[in-house]
Amino acid sequence: MSYIKSSLLAASAFVLIAPTAFGAGFQLKEQSASLQGLSFAGASAKADDASVMYFNPAGITRLKGKQAYGTVSLIKPSTKFDQDESQFSAQTAPAGATHTVNDGEGGDAGSLAAVPAAYVKAELDNDVHIGFAVNTPFGLTTEYDDGWVGRYHALKSELLTINMAPTVAWKVNENWSFGASANIQYAEAELTNATASGGGTDLFTKLKGDDIGFGFRLGALYEPTDKTRIGVAYHSGIHHELTGEVKSYSGSTVVSNIAAKAKLRTPDIASLGVYHELNDRWAVMSELAWTNWSTFEYLTVQNRDTSANLSSIEEKWNDSYFMALGAEFHPCDYPNRAWQFGIAYDKTPVEDEYRTFRIPDEDRLWLSVGYGHEWENKSFHIGYSHIIANEADVVEDESSTAKGVVAGSFDANVNILSANFTMKF
């Protein structure tokens, strides 16, 4: 176990800045620049580079020889809170707090993130292929200004995952391929907020913990013709029990330190992708994915020694879905070049009643464009997506606790620029 943890911590050096979630919930879809320009349409079926092993491990049977693929996505979100002034009379502060309803709206809670991924694959023979992936499938960062009006509910919320996945795939015949990956996943979380001390001075409270969990992926690829591919895949959920400490600070002085634990389960994901070449110049593709977010019912932190609840937030998320359509165009004079276009709808798992400042999630519309260029043994892709989120209303009513009541709405959008380089051997 210590060797696995050391390997995962070494892999985490690839993560330049902790990611912000840009799929529904805290899922990160940004695992492939060659799919970014398609809004990830056809991710389970396109299968033309090694990044397919994350979306559908069976897809690597279409890749000849050895291949190394590296990608990085620069993600810049904007997440701004607008306090509901009509609700001022209903908004309250904890007893003994320095809080007022005019304390500020937290600034921009989004920050620049760089999310990398790396994939390698090889052939054992013409029918059996192997691969290895390192990426960040789930992540979250929201961070507000220290003195903002909602600081007793949330200041910083950060989740980082690093996933290592050895993969094997078998080409049964000209039509069918099957694949599987083992997921070894490191998760680390940090949650902070202010706490009213009763003496008019805020304390600063931080929970930090980590864990290693295990899961798997299964995939199948069906090729009824040399122009059409249909891919299906299943990603298992992974159970984590994050262990660490809850510390409270008065300035730089630690005033309490409690051994703590919190359960986290990443969701199951099932996907269906279709890819079809209309002719030598045009291909169209689609993707439908279901995510089992309904397993996320509570965010509960417990005392590790006594199992008593230190805090428990009702989440009550619903299952969600993602739908994408894309097209790829190869100019007749330059068949080794490709232009990509994509659109997607990403349904939030969060109901208005349970939306929180830590994850102010809403439905999203993706608009994407990309470009790819291939040489004899290498290729380069670049993709850009603009994501528009619906306005997200939030009422954090914890008047029964020492957090008070704050209401308002979030305006959010995201810009993503991804690039990759592939080398074939």
Q: What's the pLDDT score for residue 356? A: 87
| CA pair distance 385, 237, nearest whole angstrom | 27
Q: Scanning the structure block, which residue is given the tokens 């049964």?
A: 172
| CA pair distance 235, 63, nearest whole angstrom | 22
- Alpha-carbon Rg of the chain, whole angstroms? 23
Q: Which amino acid is at 317?
A: W
Q: What is the pLDDT of residues 327-354, one digit of tens each?
A: 999 998 777 899 999 999 999 999 888 8
Q: Which value, to the nearest 10 degrees, does the dihedral of the CA atoms of residues 105, 110, 112, 117 take?
A: 160
pLDDT over threshold 90, residue 85: no
CA distances from 381 to 14, 49, 371, 416 (A): 20, 11, 6, 14
The answer to whether 140 touches 350, Cβ cutoff 8 Å, is no
Q: How confident is the model at residue 88 (pLDDT cuts 50, 70, 90)?
A: low
Q: How many other CB atoms sit within 10 Å of the CB of residue 333?
A: 6
Q: What is the pLDDT of residues 232-282, one digit of tens each?
A: 999 999 999 999 999 999 888 898 899 999 999 999 999 999 999 999 999
Q: Which of the listed CATH numbers 2.40.160.60, 3.40.50.2300, 3.90.950.10, 3.40.50.970 matches domain 2-424?
A: 2.40.160.60
Spatial CB neighbours of 2, under 8 Å, sequence gap ≥ 6: none
DSSP secondary structure string for all residues of 337-391? EEEEEEEEEE--S--GGG--SS-----EEEEEEEEEEE-SSEEEEEEEEEEEEPP
pLDDT over threshold 60, residue 17: no
* Helix-strand-coil split of the chain, %, nearest 5: 10, 55, 35
DSSP secondary structure string for all residues of 122-162? EESSSSEEEEEEEE--BEEEEE--TT-TTTTT-SEEEEEEE
Q: What is the pLDDT of residues 306-316, one digit of tens each?
A: 988 888 888 88
